[in-house]
Amino acid sequence: MAEQYNVGDIVEGKVTGIKPFGAFVAIDNQKQGLVHISEISHGYVKEIEEHLSVGDEVKVKVLNIEEDSGKISLSIRATQPKPERQEKKPRPASGGNKKPQQQASSPQGFNTLEDKLKDWLKESNDRQAQLNKRLKK
C-alpha cells in the first residue's frame, strides 16, 4: 500500500460512504480512506451531508498510512487554499465598557453578585436564628 501512495500525495477520489465522524473516499478500485469530519473543510462542519454526497468526485491529500492495518487518513481541507481571516467587526458598546463606579449603580432588575451575596447571608442568618429559637423551646 505504501508503495503506491505516499503521505503528502494529492489524488482524485470518489465518496463511497458518509458517517457522522467522516466520509469514506475510494482512491482507486481497491483502496479507500477516511476523511475525518475535521478534514472536510476549513470552517466548522456540523453535518457532513451539507458538504459532501455519496458519489462526489473529490481531491484529497494523503495524511497518514498505517502500515499494520492499511488504513489511510485523507484530507479534503488540505487541498484547498486557507481562507483569509476576516477582521472581526467591533461589537457595539453594551455596558462592558462601564467604569467600576458606574457599575455600582446597577440598572433596575439587575442584581450584582455582591447584592445577591448580602441577600443570601441575611436569609441564612434568619433561618439559623429561627432554628436556634426552636431548639431553645
Tens of pLDDT, residues 70-127: 899 999 999 988 888 766 667 766 655 555 554 455 455 566 788 888 888 999 999 9
Give this prediction's pTM. Answer: 0.57
Closest CA to 75 of 29, 44, 37, 45: 37
pLDDT digits (tens, 9 = 90+) for 2-48: 458 889 989 999 999 999 999 999 998 889 999 999 999 888 888 98
Q: How far apart are CA 25 and CA 33, in angstroms?
A: 5
Query: pLDDT class for 57, splitting at 50, 70, 90?
Result: very high
Q: How far apart are CA 9 and CA 74, in angstroms?
A: 10
- In three-state form (DSSP H/G/I as H, E/B as E, the rest C), the secondary structure along the chain is CCCCCCCCCEEEEEEEEEECCEEEEECCCCCEEEEEHHHCCCCCCCCHHHCCCCCCEEEEEEEEECCCCCCEEEECHHHCCCCCCCCCCCCCCCCCCCCHHHHHCCCCCCCCHHHHHHHHHHHHHHHHHHHHHHHHC
Query: Which pLDDT score, from 0 to 100, does residue 82 have?
Result: 83
How many residues make up the chain in this entry?
137
Query: Which pLDDT score, from 0 to 100, does residue 1 have?
Result: 42
Q: How far apart are CA 13 and CA 60, in angstroms?
A: 7
